[in-house]
Amino acid sequence: MEHLPVEVIGNILSRLKAARDVVIASATCKKWREAWRNHLHTLSFNSNDWSVYHDLAPSRLEILITQTIFQTTALQCLSIFMDDVDEFSAAPVIAWLMYTRDTLRQLHYNVRTTPNVNIIEKCSRQKLEVLSLAHNSVTGVEPSYQKFPCLKSLSLSYVSISALDLSLLLTACPKLQNLTLINPDIAMSDAQAIMELNSSSLKDIYVEAVSLDKFILEADSVENLHLKDCTLEAFELIGKGSLRDLKIDDVSVLHLDIGENTENLQIVDVSSFTIMWPKFYNMISKSSNLKRLRLWGVVFDDEDEVVDLETVSVCFPRLSHLSLSYDLRDVCGLQGTSPLENVVVLELGWTIISDLFSDWVAGLLERCPNLKKLVICGVVSEVKSHEECQVLASFTSSIVRLMRKYLRVEVQFEYE
């Protein structure tokens, strides 16, 4: 160990991340202390890493963090996550940011400050590549002054920010590729809650727990879009057809528009969502390269609507993974004869088990000649009547008999 270069020791200490572990390890000898001072590039203060953090007053934590940071000279990644701390004083937080600003590449911070510290202002015009903020406020963004020339990833969780400031912030990040918004407190200047975001470099966007009248995203290069737990009257994506992965999870939206150019779309994953199948299908019908389609726990706006497998098989010839779970009625959508030639994984689920489900499974198996794996997912109540037990037993027996015809297919059951 004594022959290791100090740069290598610095990398070893950086892989430990947790501040307590790094401090203990650096006490090994003089050479390790030198590596700690001059070559440590990653440091994390997380309340889950050390139980003592929970017992320390905020002022004592501020001193501890300050003393630790100020013993380093080359920090590139600083993470401070203290869930039990209500707030830090502004002075030490500013001191941490100013001390590390010339070398810092990643900042993860989730503690409120009193008075509020404009972290955007303190971190701008530097080489920061990743910025993750939670439980803070962002105000008065000036893109002509507060530029982030190197920022590639931005995450805002439970952050108070106006729609205008968020738009200006994206303008100040010409290389931004990843954007995460989780339950932001978005202030509006007008009575109608409308947010417009524009980014030519953005590739991945994740939006959770956002409520707006209208959300317009203009992103020419976006490839992955994930909306979760959102309430929107309208969502509109304006781009150049680069979208590859669309995921919608428990979203209420009256008008959804992802553009007409969807040729590059490969994955569509929709769950806990009310859809009008003709309108939804028309939105993705040009996605000839679609490989994965998941419609799970969806509710059809018209109770007579179902997923039309004939149109699915014709319009999505490259489909390899198909997942379906919705309330079956008299019509299962098995009309037509076109096979799903490339489907190798079939995942089917129910909310209420019935004989119709068994027929549906059998019909789908016939349409998938090259199937390799069948996954059956179901909900089983804790308190089951005798009739429910009989239905489940009957279904299991029917599946066993059915699968004797498909010995090449692996069968997996998942109950909850």
- The number of beta carbons lying within 10 Å of the beta carbon of residue 102 is 11
Residue with tokens 């407190």: 185
Q: Is 262 exposed, middle or buried (0-12, 13-18, 19+ CB in 10 A)?
A: buried
Q: Closest Cα partner for 65 from 77, 53, 74?
A: 53
Q: What is the pLDDT of residue 346?
A: 95
The mean pLDDT value for 289-318 works out to 83
Among 123-132, 219-228, 390-399, 406-415, which is the least confidently predicted range? Answer: 390-399
C-alpha–C-alpha distance, residues 327 and 325, integer Å: 7
C-alpha–C-alpha distance, residues 328 and 91, integer Å: 61
Which backbone phi and psi does 225 adopt, to 5 degrees? Answer: -130, 125
- 303 band by pLDDT with thresholds 50, 70 and 90: low
C-alpha–C-alpha distance, residues 195 and 58, integer Å: 36
What is the identity of the amino acid at 183?
Answer: N
> Is residue 118 a contact partner of residue 90, using CB atoms and an 8 Å limit?
no
CA distances from 4 to 1, 29, 234, 293 (A): 6, 12, 59, 52
> Is residue 236 a contact partner of residue 215, using CB atoms and an 8 Å limit?
yes
The mean pLDDT value for 232-240 works out to 92
Q: What is the pLDDT of residue 330?
A: 47
The residue that leads in pLDDT, 384 or 345, is: 345
Q: What is the pLDDT of residue 1?
A: 60
Q: What is the pLDDT of residue 361?
A: 87
- 402 band by pLDDT with thresholds 50, 70 and 90: confident
Task: List CB contacts of 106: < 8 A, sequence separation 6 or more.
Answer: 76, 77, 78, 79, 128, 129, 130, 131
Among 14-23, 147-156, 376-385, which is the least confidently predicted range? Answer: 376-385
Cα-Cα-Cα-Cα torsion 31, 32, 34, 39, nearest 10 degrees, comes to: 130
User: Given a cut of 50, is residue 350 above it in pLDDT?
Assistant: yes
CA distances from 120 to 93, 142, 148, 175, 407 (A): 13, 10, 9, 16, 60
C-alpha–C-alpha distance, residues 15 and 19, integer Å: 11
User: Given a cut of 90, is residue 203 above it in pLDDT?
Assistant: yes
Share of the chain above pLDDT 70, in %: 95
Cα-Cα-Cα-Cα torsion 238, 187, 160, 255, nearest 10 degrees, comes to: -40
Among 103-112, 208-217, 218-227, 333-342, which is the least confidently predicted range? Answer: 333-342
Residue with tokens 């979203």: 251
Structure tokens at 361: 């499974």
User: Given a cut of 70, is residue 275 above it in pLDDT?
Assistant: yes
Question: What pLDDT, in 10s, does the model give residues 240-253?
Answer: 889 999 999 999 98
Q: Closest Cα partner for 72 from 47, 108, 43, 45?
A: 43
Share of the chain above pLDDT 90, in %: 51
pTM listed for this prediction? 0.90
Distance spanning both ends of the chain, measured CA to CA: 51
Question: What pLDDT, in 10s, does the model give residues 52-78?
Answer: 888 889 999 999 999 999 999 999 999
User: Given a cut of 60, is residue 298 above it in pLDDT?
Assistant: yes
Q: What is the pLDDT of residue 328?
A: 60
- 383 band by pLDDT with thresholds 50, 70 and 90: low
Q: What is the pLDDT of residue 2?
A: 66
- 29 band by pLDDT with thresholds 50, 70 and 90: confident
Question: What pLDDT, in 10s, does the model give residues 304-348?
Answer: 666 778 888 888 999 999 998 876 654 456 677 789 999 999 999
Structure tokens at 120: 């955007």
Domain ranges (residues) in the chain: 42-331
The mean pLDDT value for 172-197 works out to 90
Q: Is 133 exposed, middle or buried (0-12, 13-18, 19+ CB in 10 A)?
A: buried
C-alpha–C-alpha distance, residues 108 and 136, integer Å: 12
Q: What is the pLDDT of residue 331?
A: 47
C-alpha–C-alpha distance, residues 156 and 207, integer Å: 10
Question: What pLDDT, in 10s, does the model give residues 141-171?
Answer: 998 888 999 999 999 999 999 999 999 999 9
Q: Is 279 exposed, middle or buried (0-12, 13-18, 19+ CB in 10 A)?
A: exposed
User: Given a cut of 80, is residue 192 above it in pLDDT?
Assistant: no
The mean predicted confidence, pLDDT, of the chain is 88
Could you give the 3-state DSSP secondary structure of residue 261? coil
- 23 band by pLDDT with thresholds 50, 70 and 90: confident
Q: What is the pLDDT of residue 332?
A: 57
Q: What is the pLDDT of residue 218?
A: 95
